[in-house]
Amino acid sequence: MVRVTTPAPLPQPDSEPDSATVVVRAAPNRRSALRAGAGLAAAGALATGGSATGAGAHPASASRATGTSHAGSSRAPGIPHAPSSPVSAPAPRAFPGQPAQITHGPRTRPRVALSFHGQGDPAVAEKLLGEAESAGARVTVLAVGTWLDEHPGMARRILDGGHDLGNHTLRHIDINAMSEPDAYAEILGCADRLRRLTGSIGTWFRPSRTSRASPLVERVARRVGYPHVLSYDVDSLDFTSPGAPAVTRQVLGGVRPGSVVSLHFGYADTVAALPALLHELDRRGLRAVTTTELLS
């Protein structure tokens, strides 16, 4: 097990953090929005699909949503220990013709990328990965650095499943509100952990507590080694725990060829929604691939 001393968390503002307490604070508005949106989309979403949703700030992890806690534990049952030495893993790469901040891939190919905020109960994450793999899907996981400190074996587990693994900042706080040195430390802190565990800083960087990075954060991410920032064009709103059918409708109402979908580890609704979601994507002829595959 790798133990790394991390800085104490900064005070959390209003949007999206890393603890279950923020889920309680943010859920009512998000849930109302989702219910309203889901109600409008429910009539035809499963059968027809539709236009992409707007991408908004996203939330926190949710070990709480599953009724479990990993506080104080370094590894969940069944989750492998981190390797004693890093193994070579894919590095970030530049995609010519793509913008510095990517929200979706080519609309001309029947592929989509399901991207997951990597935090929360690792047992739930393991179950979700298993569901994806049994359906032949590959996903993209943007891991939070402190989560990797607590569960280092998850880094290899994700890569061994054929998935993309990337950087979602060290502590998952509002990176757009930080000074340049602090933002650099946040991105570099997670990159260091990924490098230590896998030999690479990860294939992608996604900003925390926002769907889009500020120009400053974009510049800092490039300095750390990420040519692109990964955003998304479909927000599942799964972190509001609206129930699996609502998560499925929300995604299917917005997804189309080339979409990058934002989802989260640690939420029981997300795990429950995944089989129906993947089945419907397959019925529409859309294949769930990693973000690297989406853009390659």
User: What are 204-235's pLDDT values in tens digits?
Assistant: 999 999 999 999 999 999 999 999 999 999 99
In a domain, 59, yes or no: no
In the chain the first and final C-alpha atoms are separated, in Å, by 34
pLDDT exceeds cutoff 70 at 10: no
The boundaries of the domain holding residue 254 are 115-295
CATH number of the domain where residue 232 is located? 3.20.20.370
In a domain, 286, yes or no: yes
In a domain, 19, yes or no: no
User: What are 76-129's pLDDT values in tens digits?
Assistant: 445 555 555 555 799 999 999 999 999 999 999 999 999 999 999 999 999 999
State the total domains in the chain: 1
In a domain, 144, yes or no: yes
Q: Which residue has the tokens 């120009």?
A: 215
> Which positions ≥6 away from 88 have C-beta within 8 Å?
199, 200
In a domain, 84, yes or no: no
In a domain, 191, yes or no: yes
| Average pLDDT estimate for 45-53 | 35
Residue 67: how many CB atoms within 10 A of its CB? 8
* Confidence bin at 158 (pLDDT 50/70/90): very high
What average pLDDT is seen over the chain? 80
In a domain, 13, yes or no: no
